[in-house]
Amino acid sequence: MKPNQNSELSQLSADLKKEAEKEGFNPIGIARIPGSPRLELRTAALQRWINAGYHGEMQWMNSAKREKVDLLLEGAQSLLAVGLNYFVNQQTEPDSLKIARYAWGKDYHKVIEKRLRRLGHWLTQKKPNCKWRVCVDSTPLLDKAWAEEAGIGWIGKNSNLINPKSGSWMVIGHLLCTEPLVPDKPSKSLCGQCKKCIEACPTKAITEPFVVDSRSCLAYHTIENRNKKLPARIEESIGSWIAGCDICQEVCPWNTKSKIFTNDPDMIPQNWILRLTKAEALKWNDETWKEKLRGSALKRIKPWMWRRNANAIKVNSLNTEIKQ
């Protein structure tokens, strides 16, 4: 590559990051495709995870497109990885039901996609021949592995992406493009000998460091499980969690040592999320559910699943259970 070309790409890469920062993203990093040999190891680990049945009923995890980025965008040379902090300075009220923090605000899929699309259009203005594609976690991409490759965090023992400054309270997105952008250094794991997330998991879903068996995970069962009744062992450990679970993040030292709060309006929760009781949750009919969860990532949970989860919760007990 000629010196002037290298300088031009360096400037383009720096300017793209600045535009991403304007969109509220932080951290931000760039990776070159096909990436380092670590991506091959992550791909092999994913296949072992699937072969072990740890993905449960999430059949979409077994997609060939996860193994080759060029199947998502032909000619892709680079990837912009971004994180969006969702940790707001608010807490749920005592004795209320719990919802995973990532779902407190607006549907992050739509929020991230909209912002990354603006970055894509900006890139097209700078490089008219550039092709790009937005990827959120619903896209068959090894999203956390590529985020690690782009240097915005490492994959922790609880399988969450962790940034040394902001912890793991972030959702991530990627912008694939056909420009050869200047890459950042991949992240290195800083989990060390810590086992707090493994020890804190009430269902022992983290079977070994970096391996989570979805079939034992509260988040999986409250959001993805489509059976009419939850397994007994999940009901015994569900606590107050009606949607998702943050336990392994709450105990992580990288989240407890310093908290960076966000004021992003798309991440601010509605009041009912902070004070939802079991009695109230069970009173919701399908129309109430639709109204409350409009524009929320929680829409993935069907109304009957919402009531199933609420019925399984023993705190704030309600004598009368309703049919699902």
Contact between residue 88 and residue 262 where contact means Cβ atoms under 8 Å apart: yes
pLDDT of the residue at 324: 41
Tell me which residue has tokens 């699937």.
50
Q: Give bridge partners of residue 8 from the DSSP assignment.
A: none
Counting Cα atoms < 13 Å in the Cβ hemisphere of 36 gives 16
pLDDT value for 63: 67
Cα four-point dihedral sign 217, 223, 227, 229: positive
Statement to judge: residues 162 and 202 lie in one domain: no
Predicted structure pTM score: 0.92
Residue 232: CB atoms within 10 A of its CB come to 9
pLDDT in tens, the chain (324 residues): 555 668 899 999 999 999 999 999 999 999 999 999 998 899 888 889 888 887 777 776 666 666 788 889 999 999 999 999 999 999 999 989 999 999 999 999 999 999 999 999 999 999 999 999 999 988 889 999 999 999 999 999 999 999 999 999 999 999 999 999 999 999 999 999 999 999 999 999 999 999 999 999 999 999 999 999 999 999 999 999 999 999 999 999 999 887 899 999 999 999 999 999 999 999 999 999 999 999 999 998 999 999 999 999 996 433 334 344
Residue ending a domain, choose from 177, 207, 233? 177
Tell me, yes or no, whether 29 and 136 share the same domain.
yes
Residue 191 lies in a domain: no
CA neighbor of 238 nearest in space, from 314, 300, 297: 314
Angle at 249 between CA 246 and CA 250, to 5 degrees: 80
Residues 213, 264: one domain? Answer: yes
Catalytic positions are 137
Q: Looking at the structure, do residues 119 and 26 belong to the same domain, yes or no?
A: yes
Contacts of 148 (CB under 8 A, 6+ apart): 38, 42, 154, 155, 161, 186, 187
- CB-based contact 81:150 (threshold 8 Å): yes
Both tokens of residue 47?
Answer: 């296949």
- Report the C-alpha gap between 283 and 289 in whole angstroms: 10
Q: Do residues 169 and 85 make contact, with C-beta atoms less than 8 angstroms apart?
A: yes
Domain assignment present for residue 291? The answer is: yes
Within a domain: residue 189?
no
Question: Could you tell me the two tokens for 255?
Answer: 């989240």
Domain boundary residue, one of 117, 143, 177: 177
**Which of 118, 148, 177 is at the close of a domain?**
177
Q: What's the pLDDT at 5?
A: 64
SS3 at position 176 = strand
Identify whether 97 is part of a domain.
no
152, exposed or middle or buried, with CB in 10 Å at 0-12, 13-18, 19+?
buried
Which residue's entry shows tokens 């409009």? 294
Q: Is the domain of 166 the same as that of 200?
A: no
Structural domain harbouring 296:
196-312
Instruction: Give the number of domains in the chain.
Output: 2
User: Is residue 185 included in any domain, yes or no?
Assistant: no
Q: Are residues 135 and 272 in the same domain?
A: no
Do 130 and 13 meet the contact criterion of CB atoms below 8 Å apart? no
Same domain as 249, residue 119? no
One domain, residues 61 and 143: yes
Question: Are 146 and 23 within one domain?
Answer: yes
Regarding whether 165 and 228 lie in a shared domain, the answer is no
211 and 242 co-located in one domain = yes
